[in-house]
Structure 1
Amino acid sequence: MTDTPTRVALITGGSGGIGRAVAERLAQDGIAVGVHYAGNKARADETVAAITAAGGRAIPVGGDVADEHEMAAAFDAVEAEFGGLDVVVNTAGIMALSPIATMNLDDLDRMHRTNIRGTFVVSQQAARRVRAGGAIINFSTTVTRTKFPTYGGYVASKAAVEAITLVLARELRGKDITVNTVAPGPTATPLFLDGKDEATVQNLAMASPLERLGTPDDIAESVAFLAGPARWINGQVLYANGGLA
């Protein structure tokens, strides 16, 4: 009797926030994990250490998600270490908020380089490499529905992510690979909490019928579902927001 081959995942932005929760959650399911970081290797090392201390397998891999050569190298490293690739979760992203009328276009370009080009580059590599039975999971935002002011540039980048996802799901016809997007609502991460006063945070928490913010672990459960048992969900946007919208 042969052992079942280990499933392998690469998590971009896996060094903190939602990305770290996703990496640790997939490791709980026995998936070997490549923990990607852009600039903070120490945080990626902490995530790897937490996974290995719990009995899992993980390695750190660096690179700019918008650079196709650096991402090809990151994918190569994960495949060389674990023998293949089954799940790619693209949590890497940045958020710059401003009214459309006054937004700094350099901020817009920087955000779109990471969120749109980065998602495209990672999706391109994933489409070439993920094995049959695998899953590609990108990240959008519930603000594509709630349409909060000052999120115009950010929502534009995430609407593009959703479009890339839906097209790629159809382009991979016959390969037994699912492609979906998770769209979190307000989630208690440093990215979300930065710059918000307590009243704003509380108002957003109470906006959901569940009357709380989401947690990184909440979002990670959605990813684990799409990465594992949810084989009949494909080409969809999954709103993980507690009923906010």
Structure 2
Amino acid sequence: MSATTQSLPAASLLQLIWLASPALPVGGFSYSEGLEAAVDCAGVSTEEAAANWLSDQLHLSLARGDLAVIAQAIPAWRNADISRVKALNDWVVQTRETSEMRLQTEQMGRSLLDWLRNHNSISPAHLDVCAALPPTYPVAFALAASPLAAGVPDCLSAYAFGWAENMMQAALKSVPLGQSAGQRILARLAAEIPAAIAEAMALSDAERQAFSSMLAILSSQHETQYSRLFRS
């Protein structure tokens, strides 16, 4: 190991693993973020097609939207820049292109805030500010990560891997696929996460965006899909 390499403190590492866990009680398992509609309407019916779909979603949607927001929201929370936090939260709400996408980020944000109230890591003042927004999930996640002795890239890695695990599980249920296929998809996404994080951290406010036209169309179709497993 290089002498200049700094290890993340164990307590912060464990907190990041906790935040990335699909067992975190925020309801992430109940959403497919358009994947279920893609299976039904866009021919995502094989392991390769599901992997390609999720890879595109990672780079074209998550990196340019949620990850870019978190990269800016963590230092805003750390610096108590509440006006900046509010602006980022407003941006997330305004760029959710369907009602189910907006309901997802609002529900998961509220649930994460409720989880944070059971811990001592966040100041009551910041909890009150977050509740008043009300929080979207990326902004609530940034609050949860802000007190940790972890750099922004590590925090983004936790968020992105948690997303990847949830989406892999959604693929297993909706395509459907076996466990081995799911692990191959997760391995591909994990290998691509560092590049997505680098892209997210390089984006300015003017470059950040959440426009994904096909995803928005499929999400709209999912809202009236006859039979479905997921809430988005």
Report if TM-score (shorter chain) is over 0.5. no
Higher relative contact order (CA 8 A, sep 6+): 2
Name the one with the larger strand percent: 1
Considering fraction of residues, name the structure with more helix. Answer: 2
